[in-house]
Amino acid sequence: MHYYRYSNAEVSCWYKYLLFSYNIVFWLGGVAFLAAGLWAWSEKGVLSDLTKVTGLHGLDPVVLVLVVGIVMFTLGFAGCVGALRENICLLKFFCGAIVFIFLLELAVAVLAFLFQDWVRDMVKEFFENNIKSYRDDIDLQNLIDSLQKINHCCGAQGPDDWDFNIYFNCSSESKSREKCGVPFSCCIPDPAQKVVNTQCGYDVRKQVRCWELGVCHVLCLH
């Protein structure tokens, strides 16, 4: 394989090793993400049965971790080797990929601004699909709980969105103990309690809502 390399370096050593140092950290970060993602999949048995990847109807957060890890690993490797060996092809690939990612983010932001209603509907549908799979995957469950606690909300638009989940559905056919309830992450925490009450959401949708925050309806659960 042939690549272009100048006989005399046109970039100072300071810039060269600064770029290398930055990308080695980026590359190691990609390795860490990949290792974490593969470990999570091995714990869930996905590596031994890859059909489980398509078995989950919602988002598997591990897939997101692996995608980020692959991108970071590839860009970090290209930047490290390109800077250290002054490989013009790898440096062009590195710069082109960075520009492409920037333009992609810019295009997504512009389209999201121009088609706000469509994006809002898509996001709502996305969260509703993930609510359906809340109990199917522990990583997805932890992600939804974290989002609800951080944003102080419950469901995509309100607590009744949890009717999409068979465990929290209020239908008379449901035999779940969590029937007509919400996850504990919907509860307003009591500062006096040091231990999280994971059952605070039981039967709460049979009660009256008493607090609203933004577009999300938050139940007064202590």
DSSP letters along 145-202, please?
Answer: HHHHHHHT--SSSSGGGGGGSTTT---TT---TTTT---GGGS---TT-SS--TTTTT
In angstroms, the CA 157 to CA 155 distance is 6
pLDDT of amino acid 57:
64
The mean pLDDT of the chain is: 80
Q: What is the pLDDT of residues 185-205, one digit of tens each?
A: 998 877 777 788 888 888 888
What pLDDT shows up at residue 21? 84
DSSP state of 205: G
Is 60 exceeded by the pLDDT of residue 169? yes
Give residue limits of the domains in the chain: 13-44+59-129
∠ CA 17-22-27, nearest 5°, is: 115
User: What is residue 217's predicted lDDT score, i.e. its pLDDT?
Assistant: 41
**Alpha carbons 54 and 52: distance in angstroms, whole number:** 5
Amino acid identity at 13: C
Which residue type is seen at 218? Answer: V
What sign does the dihedral 136-140-142-145 (CA atoms) show?
Answer: negative
- Pinpoint the alpha helices (H) of 57-154: 61-85, 88-114, 116-132, 138-151
pLDDT at 170 over 60: yes
Hey, CA dihedral for 149, 152, 156, 159, is it positive or negative? positive
Kindly give, in sequence order, each residue whose CB lies less than 8 Å from that of residue 169, ignoring residues fewer than 6 positions away.
Answer: 162, 163, 176, 179, 180
Helix axes 116-132, 88-114, angle to 10 degrees: 100
User: What pTM does this model have?
Assistant: 0.69
Instruction: Report whether pLDDT(72) > 80.
Output: yes
